[in-house]
Amino acid sequence: MAHTSKAYVLDHKVANIKSHQWRTARNSAAFVIDSIHPDMYILDVGCGPGSITVDFAEMVPKGHVTGIEIGADILSQAQSLAHERGLENVTFGEADVNALKYPDATFDLVFAHQVLQHLPEPVKALREMRRVAKLGGMVAVREGELGTSFAYPDLAGIRNTVELYVRVARNSGSHPDAGRELLSYALESGFTRSAITASASSFCFSSDEDRAMWGKTWSDRLQESSFRKRALDGGFADPTDLESYAKDWRDWMTRDNAIWAHLNGEILCRK
């Protein structure tokens, strides 16, 4: 089953999965790691290929982690990763964050990474995440914003890609500014201000390996993905534009002096 969220402008093609597999608890959930205890029950919403999920599972040897996705197509990869790591305290399943199948107060921690920005009603999803968190438990969310990025060298195709992504995302009903809006989402979903810790951290790609991953991710997205289709169907770009942008990404990734960074907003909310 393919990803079914109409607001999700990307997809689970190889280019996107490579960037998702790069994510770990250390580089994508550092703001919550110190709050995790060995006996916790954790829900990872939008787990993708499971790279963060299995890291959580290793941190809770006396607990359990559940990873969920709205589409089942990626879950076999997540399960394979758990098997490779020898983990038995993690399970994966298909579920919709807007209507979670779990009873109230089920989990010690409900986590989502780069999920709310792809939803038409992020506050609704956050309320549901809050519902399934235990009293005294936590909801932790991290959302990035390409619009906060900088890149060097300053290539026109990379700047144009960022602008294009924001336009396509907004046209699709998602929220490319979700990172800066997380605190507002949390308040609207029912958390009190004193229960929320808001923070920010960055993604930064500068090593040979990281540049190759990030550059190829965007080159491929511009050439063969649902993002490309939405950009063309919406009249936001033409094939010549997209090939020009992709060429600049391929150029960028080969340069020793190249760097990319963007901010991620974070919230850690106690129920």
Percent of the chain with pLDDT strictly greater than 90: 90
Above 70 in pLDDT, residue 257?
A: yes
- How crowded is residue 139: how many other Cβ atoms within 10 Å of its Cβ? 29
- Rounded mean pLDDT, 42-53: 97
Pairing of strands 90-94, 133-144: unpaired
Read off the DSSP letter of residue 258.
-
Residue-wise pLDDT for 109-168, tens only, equals 999 999 999 999 999 999 999 999 999 999 999 999 999 999 999 999 999 999 999 999
Query: In this predicted model, what pLDDT tens digit does every residue of 24-39 receive, in sequence order?
Result: 999 999 999 999 999 9
Is 197 a residue whose pLDDT tops 60? yes
Rounded CA-CA distance 209/224 in Å is: 22
Examine the pLDDT at 3 and tell me if it is beyond 50: no
How far is residue 123's CA from residue 1's CA, in Å, rounded to a whole number? 26
Residue 87: other Cβ atoms inside 10 A? 19
Q: How many CB atoms lie within 10 A of CB 270?
A: 16
Q: Yes or no: say if 28 and 44 are a contact pair by the CB < 8 Å rule.
A: no
Could you tell me what percent of the chain has a pLDDT over 70?
A: 94
Burial of 75 (0-12, 13-18, 19+ CB in 10 A): buried
Distance CA 152, CA 76 (A): 37
The span from the CA of 264 to the CA of 181, in Å, is 11
Calculate helix-pair angle for 156-172, 239-253, nearest 10 degrees.
130
pLDDT class of 1 with cuts at 50, 70, 90: very low
**Architecture field, domain 14-270:** 3-Layer(aba) Sandwich (3.40)
Q: At 256, list the tokens.
A: 């020793």
Q: How far is CA 77 from the centre of its chain?
A: 17
Mind listing the pLDDT tens digit for each residue in 75-89?
A: 999 999 999 999 999
